[in-house]
Amino acid sequence: MESPDKKGFYTFASSSAETTHKPMHLEKRFNSHTKRNLKNLSKETVEIKREAILEERRRKLHQNFQKVKRIAKEMKARREDKIDLLSKSMALAEMNRNQHIEKRRAASKQTVERAKYIVLQNRYRSQQEQERRRAELESRFEKTEQRRLAHLNRYQQQKKKKLALTPSSPTCLITPMSNISIQTKLDDQPKLKKPSNWSIILKAFRELGLPLPSNPDTWLEFNVLSQLLNQPKVIVVTTKVLNTALKLNNEESRHRARVLLTSYMTLMCPKEVLQNVNGTEEKRLHVSAKQMLNLFEIWLKAHGRPGATAARLAFVQAWDEYTILFESWKSRDRNQLIQNMIGYFVELSTLRQTMIAQDNDDSVGDQLQSQLNEIKTKLQKLGGPEALALLQRALEMSASSTSTGRKKQHQINTPRTPNLDNAYETEADANHQRASGDQLSQLLNGYAPESGLTNEQLAHELIMDPEFKLQRQAPTNDLEQRVRIMAEKAFFDKVAQDIDEGNPELSLPSLIMDVKNRLLSLVRPGTSMHQHIDERIDLDLIQQQMRQRTFDLKSMMEYVLGVMADMCAPVRDVEIQVLRQDNNLMQQMPTVLHLLEDMSLDLANFRLRSLRPHLMPIAVEYEREKFASMLNTGQIQLVRTQSWLTQSASKLCQAAAERNPERVRPEKNNKPTHDSVFEEAYVSLLVQSLPVSVQTLPETLFMDAKRLHQFQNDVQAVTIVAALLMLARNFGSASPQALSDLGSKLFTMLEDPATAIDHLAAEIESAVNVRPERREMIRTMVDKTVSHSDTVYSLLSRRVASVIKLSIQNNTFVTDAVLASNGLQHVRSHLQAIAHKILRMTHHHRKVFASYYDEIIKTALHEHLVVSPTTSQN
């Protein structure tokens, strides 16, 4: 910048040309264009580089992906190869296992066959040796007898010679020639063989004239046969014959002979001897007697011939089987006879006391006392001290049941006690068979652990359900069941392995002991069968035989199955028969254990049924005491029971108020009774829409939770079927019989969980011939009717509840007219069955918890009085 000019302005001097010798604005324009080109060029380069980088990355990612894919494929291939190899290994192992098992089976079979052959050889050799020794003994006995007779003959001859040479008379010095000739003839005669003792006994037995079991033509009538068998000579000779066969001679010999002679009467006169010829036990006894006597006859005929020993052993085995059956049959009849005699004794004793008290006639009392003494003597001979102890208990029960000094419980406003027909209770009261609560607890203690129930629950189930049975405790889940099966299979595999390896003493004795204990548990101690089982299954002897390799497992299993067949219930006969036909001992043994467990349950259930008549008279008092004990100790409270009864009382009071809006006297028309509250409370549980559960039930109904749940399902089923039948009548025409058949089918369908609405609708359509255009409406109505909120369902539910209440009130089921008026005639059978069960339960609960129910109902009615005294006066 230069100095200002004369005018005072500054002048800026600047060249208008640059290095390019172009104007300034052109230079800038060209420069900017160059920069722009350079910028565009750099962007393209960057884009190219970026695309190159991205492409490189894509390539690497693709390579990595292909590599991962290849690795995954290789791993999958290796895994499949491993699985394939494992499968082949398992198949090969299974094949090797099967081959090993087959080899072991073949080796075992060969060993068993070899053992059988050796046993048969040894048995044959033993029989031959026994026959040889017997023949040798017979020969030696004959020679000894001949020597004895010869010696005796010489002694007699010497004695006669001495007598002849005695100088008592001159004529005696010369022996007559006649005497010499006679003596010579006697000496020249051959000496006769003296028969043996067994030959004499056998000859005497044949001379008795007993009929032949194998020849029915020789059989005698009952009276003639009885007289023949009761002869002392017959009993004595038969005793000697039987002792020879059994190789026994003790104080029971005469009794065994009588049993054998009784088998003749059982075989030839079954109708006179057996009470029920067609009974299962009687048929088995008759068949056993026939088989035993036939073998007895064969043995007698085989005397002195080859095979006599085998015939005797066969008879002994048949005799043992017959004895077991006979003792079982006799004990049953003896027990029944003892009970009858005890009952007759008690009745006669009561009659004697009554006659003395009324007439003061000692002569009649003396006559009755003499009869009582005779009965008591016979009872002692028949049953011994045990029968007398039973008689004493029966007399004590009779005395306590006929006592006039009992105290009766008196309660105010208690519900009525209905006269419900109960066959068990009536029978128990008639027979005066009562037991105390402590005795009942002791009796139930043996069954409570096995059933998984407490004593109170078990007693309650026996009262509520006459058909109650103990069931085998099944596994709670599938895992437990599989573990149990595997453990059992492993155990019996070990037993089979020990037997195959020739070491049965390692595991078999414990198994046999288990079987023995289970058999003994089925028999009363002290009986002949208990003693026979204990002696026959002698574990010490069995272990000794195992060590000597002479134990016969098959024979032992046959004996066990025979005893089980004698003791089992008739329903188990088929299982026993199937088990006997199985020749695989390893399969037999676990089945035998399972069957013995079932037989134990059968026996336990039988004893529980026998216990029920004793339980009925004291059931109410027993449950009341147990409930009061839990209530006093604070284990339970009556909170829910009080709420339950109070709601029913409030409901009935409101209904009474609606019927009496003017509050007119008398007050009893407005105040529900205790019975109506009680019945309403019970029935309301069954018809409510919510399912019954322990969490919501009153405390007094805890033990009936499952039962009430089932009752609720049954009541709902009856209501649904009745509603569907009413729907069917409205949509079609059907006869009463067709509706009854439809009702039966609907009940069956409701029991199947797979039944759907369409199935019910289709059954109704086919039963009442619904027109095609109305079928869709039928399905809709069926779906609507089975709902708790439906009007028809609610109506039928109230009617069913009304019928159940009437049954409880009247202690009997309603008439057909009442059912027809309520539209329930086609569900009569199911409704009557459920009503009878509910009646039994309410009857029992009313007696047990009457005092608690009465107090709660009394308080509830006092709080909900419809008409108070002050209101009525105004």
Least confident of 136-140, 330-334, 499-503, 551-555: 330-334
Answer whether residue 146 is part of any domain. no
Answer whether residue 720 is part of any domain. yes
Q: Which two tokens stand for residue 96?
A: 């090797």
Is 524 found in the same domain as 454? yes
Residue ending a domain, among 615, 634, 653, is 634
CA 21 to chain centre: 127
Is 712 found in the same domain as 660? yes
Query: What does the pLDDT look like over 693-728, one tens digit per residue?
Result: 888 889 888 888 888 888 989 999 999 999 888 888
Answer whether residue 213 is part of any domain. no
Average pLDDT over residues 758-787: 80
Is 601 found in the same domain as 482? yes
Does residue 798 come out as left (phi exceeding 0), alpha (psi in the -120 to 50 range) or beta? Answer: alpha
Distance CA 165, CA 160 (A): 9
Answer whether residue 576 is part of any domain. yes
Query: What does the pLDDT look like over 81-127, one tens digit per residue?
Result: 999 998 898 889 889 888 988 888 888 888 888 888 888 888 888 88
Is 759 found in the same domain as 787? yes
Is 647 found in the same domain as 517? no
Residue ending a domain, among 571, 603, 634, is 634
Answer whether residue 129 is part of any domain. no
Looking at the 3D structure of the chain, how many domains does it have? 2
Confidence band for 198, pLDDT divided at 50, 70 and 90: confident
Is 656 found in the same domain as 572? no
Q: Where is pLDDT greater, at 325 or 797?
A: 797
Query: What does the pLDDT look like over 544-558, one tens digit per residue?
Result: 888 888 888 888 888
Average pLDDT over residues 583-611: 82
Q: What is the pLDDT of residue 665?
A: 52
Q: Could you tell me which of 656, 661, 671, 647 has the C-alpha nearest to residue 869? A: 671
Is 709 found in the same domain as 603? no
Is 569 found in the same domain as 675? no
Q: Which two tokens stand for residue 160?
A: 């006669």
Is 656 found in the same domain as 565? no
Residue ending a domain, among 634, 669, 689, is 634
Which pTM value belongs to this model?
Answer: 0.47
Provide the residue range defining the domain that includes 718: 639-873
Answer whether residue 359 is part of any domain. no
AA letter at 784: K
Query: What does the pLDDT look like over 171-185, one tens digit per residue?
Result: 333 333 334 343 433
**pLDDT averaged over the chain?**
76
Q: Which two tokens stand for residue 72?
A: 């995954």
Is 684 found in the same domain as 614? no
Is 629 found in the same domain as 645? no
pLDDT beyond 60 at 21: no
Is 734 found in the same domain as 659? yes
Say if residues 327 and 529 touch (Cβ distance below 8 Å): yes
Answer whether residue 444 is part of any domain. yes
pLDDT beyond 50 at 429: no
The DSSP code sequence of 305-336 is STTHHHHHHHHHHHHHHHHHHHHHHHHHHHHH
Answer whether residue 709 is part of any domain. yes
Residue 462 buriedness (CB in 10 A; 0-12 / 13-18 / 19+): buried
Residue 700 buriedness (CB in 10 A; 0-12 / 13-18 / 19+): buried
